[in-house]
Structure 1
């Protein structure tokens, strides 16, 4: 008990005397002031010598003190609050001063604007936290420092920056970080509590009354950061980390993307000067691309050029263009892109390091957990866990909608280097072989869902044009392979993982399209390593699926390799089949009729050698399509008529489908040469065969019927019988769209647009525009025709403002 008057007591003694004089128990005063009994007891016992101003005001009101008495109580509390150390004087608040800002900082305007809004929104009960996370080299620290300098005027009570050394073997502990923060706030060493919790409590009590900006750079995890974040007060905390720190609650997230190409060039310009960039503008753009628009890589390239004022940008571009030398070229003094990646790589556990470097062997721009699991030898679940861990670490980027992952280009090069260094050729080959076998089996099984030879699993499929887009004709021979498919699930018995296999045609389509680069790489590797039967099985299964994606140029490679595989196995019949597929691909996928004619002629020779009338008919048809595109009409007519005679003499379902293709192609060619009435009769003959049906082809015949209707519609349009032409074209378009046959649907849409325009139909404009965009996506040569038709329609129709935009 203080024996003196309250004016001469310390805060605790003064508070206890005032409470006693007021006749209040600790519980009563605590309840009236809105503080805890424990907090009040700590104040009276001297454990808390300098409570916050707002707490003192609440106690004064609860005690009913006069203004003078309340002022005396506040004065006693102020004397107990921490003061700057005498030896530091006024310089104490700069003990953790912000690092120097980068004068050539570029871009990030929207992200800076959002942080400014966040700073303005802070208040006594709204301390703000922004996490700036992402892959190595994004410029997180540079951004945070630049932002802190820009925001400094909003935080007059202090701006502190603390490096948490998250990439070091021993990151800064929260206890040590709190000691530095308390010291920067002026707390004497002797007054800093021993325990982490007590330090955190003191730090938060000091920060709560100040408008401060805190930069926590290079954080390792949430446990390191949480004790350092103020709990109250108008503060702003910026946290940078290579980890996502997803466990931090109620925080703002600043997502830094790669620079845009023009921003990367602007950064380079600010480093080396506008004159050098202007003198080699294209080289500057190429350099930005080779750096992957990664800020650190661009800065390193710029600093390297700055140190060599007479070196041309093109010289560095040439060096970086060689992938094996790119990481070597991206170093300037102590700045090295490889070192930045190595810091993160060394932090990973062994399985995650293995997953990262093996995933760099995947083909294509992204990869699935299946591919990662196969390459790394992990289970699927473990692969997902590793991929998510690497995403949180900023070493992989996850797709926004699907479970797929991708590298930054430079990180992929670094990971591939580690695969070479740590795994060696034997382990690499084992991983790639395992992946190849699995991918080809899955791709073959998935593709069979589209094969009419297995109609229970198939829904559509017809394959390839002879004369023009939208005419089936890639069926070829009946399967010479024993796929051993069951009637109810033709694909599952082939799949390497039946439990995880696509369950229907739609799932198969999604998988085949998503994994296109990976199964194509597997096919390529199998061919190069002499596994020719695997190549043939996969390509044969793919031939109906290929109709769904006629714009894929890859089909040329697929069927070129399969034709070569058949030749190497000595099978002339299979060689004829796959050369016909190749002719189809040259005709429709890459629009190279000369190459198509060579392939078709080779297929014709092979078919005649083995007396395969079906393949002979197909080869004649594909040759006719190529000759038509080359403008050699008489020869095209001759081959089509010969093909029709050849196929009419056969009775198999495959021959009937082939005959339909030839008839549709013949009708198209007749129309193109002005013999429209003959064309119409030919297409109607084809339609009659479709109506009669083909045994065992109940589903695919619907597509042939749609092709016949497309031909009939175009014939009627050529005869200017516009009203009659509209219905069959709409029917054909609906059938192609229902079957997801975009390569056939878009040309039909354009045909319909011409008819609607002739009728003055209000749908003509939208039909032309959709056809133009769809054909452009397919890289179809008719896209220019669609654009011209749209422009012409706009000129002749009122109310078309904004057309084509």
Structure 2
């Protein structure tokens, strides 16, 4: 391909080929034609693209050209000369496709393209690349933009389908031949090879203001020879591939339509009256089409040819996922076929990764999940996922290495599972992914365990294993849907011990993420696994975890009380006084929240009695938890003085430490105790004394990254500051606390809002 100003092309290339053919040297031809050698060198190198007629005639005479060659030389020279007025006739050879009268949205993308078209003195000539997943309306946008920008390109508009999805995409050499002929170059004057054709094409386009639409490009190598070099001609390229290697291009990555834009497109296709009559159905229809322009258009076209059909009928048909792609067909427009074009162009490994990724749980997935499901290496899965994203078949996350499907593409990939995969292979893939995910989840969760730490061989892939608490938490958060699916899969497969072990490993981590309602689901599974194994001891433990989850995560206190009763029964039958005490404590928490305070106090005293004689570290921690909870209930029943005394004794236990327990764990328990002390002092109107323990508690919870604990502590600090008359500080604390409590869906968010409104009697749930 020609690469710079000295490269031959156009008039210069033709002149040089004629000189060589007739056996002239540059010096001999220059002397015979009466021009300088320097002038002849500039002509052949393309530095002078359109010499004057007399110069051309002199050269033709010196070369003794026949009439045909003389005519070709003059014609190419004329093409390179400045043209006082546009020549619109040649564009008829490669006309733009018909514009859509109902084209909708894309205002911002069109404005960007218009700004590009209005630039002058392009060096290089402007190129816009329109990319995105199948069905986004890339061609429709490019055609609409070309028609809109036609006045900016008076020398003609040309469109070429590069057939990028065909088995044999268009050959750049053949496309250049068509373009040159459309520009007025005769068949004989069109150079033979691709490089020379590119040179001539660039010589011609440099002096004109053309618009070139290269639709459906296969790759960069196909596009590069077709691009003008310099000047003001605009090229718009559309492709299902990202064409990331194409240099100096303005990129337009079309997004899905917004909801209102999808409804507007339906309205333009079928008319406003039908949409107004079924406004809800129109919005549902747009949602079921995933706001993908092609899908919305197909749905609209189906309705357009059935003027009596209700929108709700098509909505009902599309609601069935198994037949949704069947319904998205209108004549030659078919959603499934649009996806199949891209699918067939993938390598076998990439097709497997795409299909198997549809098995992943949740809204997105990682390359690790894709590798497990596809039965390939992580490196290969990562490369395939990147390639699939470049082809518009997956949507990459903007910040992390995760990918997601468009809903309709996921349905298509799921269909391919049924046709391209053996059921036994799919079953093996699911088992492999579930076992790996559970092993990684257990190892990651153990980073938060107060009594155990993960060993190097706990993780299924130590090389990629999270190396500390922050990476472990990030992994558990990102893969939450996937390891929860793995727990369900393990339960269904009868891997009961793995379910119990995974839930056990996670119970300390769950305390740091109380805002995850899924803990109810996790511990339901572990309870079911314990029952399947017939282990009453395990059942008691996991029923207690479940009671905690009902209380603290789901705020379902009747269910928490019922579960605590069941845990108490199982613990008594297995003779486990530690679990008996925990069951009484969790039951007391439910009773308190149900307003049955006297019963709650009685249960807490019984719980403390169970733990008092237990000298193990677990027993001491359990007693500390029970005392703190008892103090809270006493404070909320008007006995703040007794609560303060109990919490002072709890503080003494924390300061003394518990043998065998980590400093990190004791720091959390001490922070909880300080929080309770601060609240006791607030209740006793000892505001100045309350500030210090509340600040210390808040600092410790934030350092441990425990938002479900730090947000209530900040609220109580704000209340204390308000009573101290430090209203600016108080409001700042209350605003921040309210925001965090709302994000956590914490019961105390209403209390925070009430204090912000200046009505602290709005309720409390401390």
Same fold (TM over 0.5): yes
Structure 2: how far apart are the matches of 1:76 and 1:319?
63
1:435: which partner in 2? 433
Range that drifts further, 529-538 or 775-784: 775-784
Q: Where does the alignment leave 5 or more consecutive residues of structure 1 unmatched? A: 1-8, 31-36, 61-74, 458-489, 795-805
Range that drifts further, 424-433 or 188-197: 188-197
2:681: which partner in 1? 716
1:780: which partner in 2? 746
Structure 2: how far apart are the matches of 1:103 and 1:637?
74
State how 1:12-31 maps to structure 2 within 5 Å.
20=31, 26-27=37-38, 29=39
Secondary structure of the 1:244 match is coil
Aligned length: 717
Structure 2: how far apart are the matches of 1:670 and 1:108?
63
2:758: which partner in 1? 792
Structure 2: how far apart are the matches of 1:105 and 1:764?
54
2:64: which partner in 1? none
1:757: which partner in 2? 722
Asked if the contact 1:449–1:491 (Cα under 8 Å) also holds between the matched residues in 2, the reply is no
State how 1:436-515 maps to structure 2 within 5 Å.
436-454=434-452, 457=453, 490-515=454-479
Deviating runs (4+, > 3 A) in structure 1? 9-13, 15-25, 75-84
1:740: which partner in 2? 705
> How big is the shift at 1:773?
1.4
Secondary structure of the 2:318 match is helix
Structure 2: how far apart are the matches of 1:716 and 1:56?
99
1:545-567 CA-to-partner distances (Å, cap 9, x unmatched) read: 11121111111111001011111
Measured at CA, do residues 192 and 497 of structure 1 come closer, stay the same or move farther in structure 2, by a change above 3 Å? same
Asked if the contact 1:82–1:187 (Cα under 8 Å) also holds between the matched residues in 2, the reply is no
Matched, 1:315 2:281: no
Measured at CA, do residues 157 and 25 of structure 1 come closer, stay the same or move farther in structure 2, by a change above 3 Å? closer
Structure 1: how far apart are the matches of 2:399 and 2:79?
54
Alignment equivalent of 2:287, drawn from 289, 297, 301: 289
Matched, 1:704 2:669: yes
Asked if the contact 2:191–2:197 (Cα under 8 Å) also holds between the matched residues in 1, the reply is yes
Alignment equivalent of 1:575, drawn from 531, 539, 562: 539
Structure 1: how far apart are the matches of 2:711 and 2:333?
52
1:66: which partner in 2? none
Structure 2: how far apart are the matches of 1:394 and 1:526?
34
> How big is the shift at 1:311?
1.9
Asked if the contact 1:122–1:236 (Cα under 8 Å) also holds between the matched residues in 2, the reply is no
Structure 2: how far apart are the matches of 1:76 and 1:568?
90
2:138: which partner in 1? 140
Asked if the contact 1:572–1:609 (Cα under 8 Å) also holds between the matched residues in 2, the reply is yes
> How big is the shift at 1:191?
2.1
Measured at CA, do residues 491 and 408 of structure 1 come closer, stay the same or move farther in structure 2, by a change above 3 Å? farther
Asked if the contact 2:72–2:189 (Cα under 8 Å) also holds between the matched residues in 1, the reply is no
Structure 2: how far apart are the matches of 1:140 and 1:335?
15
1:103: which partner in 2? 101
Structure 1: how far apart are the matches of 2:250 and 2:491?
52
Structure 1: how far apart are the matches of 2:377 and 2:223?
33
Structure 2: how far apart are the matches of 1:758 and 1:286?
51
Measured at CA, do residues 587 and 233 of structure 1 come closer, stay the same or move farther in structure 2, by a change above 3 Å? same
Structure 2: how far apart are the matches of 1:206 and 1:51?
12
Matched, 1:561 2:525: yes
Alignment equivalent of 1:633, drawn from 584, 594, 597: 597
1:421-467 CA-to-partner distances (Å, cap 9, x unmatched) read: 1103211111000101111111111111111112xx3xxxxxxxxxx
Secondary structure of the 1:498 match is coil
1:160-190 CA-to-partner distances (Å, cap 9, x unmatched) read: 1111011111111101111111121122223
Alignment equivalent of 2:77, drawn from 76, 81, 87: 81
> How big is the shift at 1:51?
5.2
1:476: which partner in 2? none
Asked if the contact 2:88–2:155 (Cα under 8 Å) also holds between the matched residues in 1, the reply is no
Matched, 1:269 2:264: no
Structure 1: how far apart are the matches of 2:737 and 2:274?
45
Q: Where does the alignment leave 5 or more consecutive residues of structure 2 unmatched? A: 1-14, 57-70, 81-86, 761-766
Asked if the contact 2:440–2:465 (Cα under 8 Å) also holds between the matched residues in 1, the reply is yes
Structure 1: how far apart are the matches of 2:76 and 2:95?
26
Measured at CA, do residues 140 and 743 of structure 1 come closer, stay the same or move farther in structure 2, by a change above 3 Å? same
Secondary structure of the 1:452 match is coil
Matched, 1:528 2:492: yes
2:361: which partner in 1? 363
Structure 1: how far apart are the matches of 2:168 and 2:612?
81
State how 1:514-663 maps to structure 2 within 5 Å.
514-663=478-627
Secondary structure of the 1:710 match is helix
Range that drifts further, 270-279 or 382-391: 270-279
Matched, 1:373 2:338: no
> How big is the shift at 1:215?
0.6
Structure 2: how far apart are the matches of 1:207 and 1:507?
55
> How big is the shift at 1:127?
1.1
1:335: which partner in 2? 333
Structure 2: how far apart are the matches of 1:97 and 1:218?
16
Measured at CA, do residues 56 and 632 of structure 1 come closer, stay the same or move farther in structure 2, by a change above 3 Å? farther
Structure 2: how far apart are the matches of 1:789 and 1:312?
51
Asked if the contact 1:123–1:235 (Cα under 8 Å) also holds between the matched residues in 2, the reply is no
Asked if the contact 2:288–2:319 (Cα under 8 Å) also holds between the matched residues in 1, the reply is yes
> How big is the shift at 1:335?
1.1
Matched, 1:280 2:278: yes
Structure 1: how far apart are the matches of 2:566 and 2:73?
99
> How big is the shift at 1:612?
0.4
Structure 1: how far apart are the matches of 2:288 and 2:225?
41
Structure 2: how far apart are the matches of 1:714 and 1:269?
59
> How big is the shift at 1:759?
2.0
> How big is the shift at 1:124?
4.9
Asked if the contact 1:124–1:208 (Cα under 8 Å) also holds between the matched residues in 2, the reply is no
> How big is the shift at 1:93?
2.2
Secondary structure of the 2:216 match is strand
Asked if the contact 1:122–1:235 (Cα under 8 Å) also holds between the matched residues in 2, the reply is no
Secondary structure of the 2:638 match is coil
Q: What TM-score does the superposition give when structure 1 sets the normalisation length? A: 0.86
Measured at CA, do residues 190 and 78 of structure 1 come closer, stay the same or move farther in structure 2, by a change above 3 Å? closer
Asked if the contact 1:215–1:237 (Cα under 8 Å) also holds between the matched residues in 2, the reply is yes
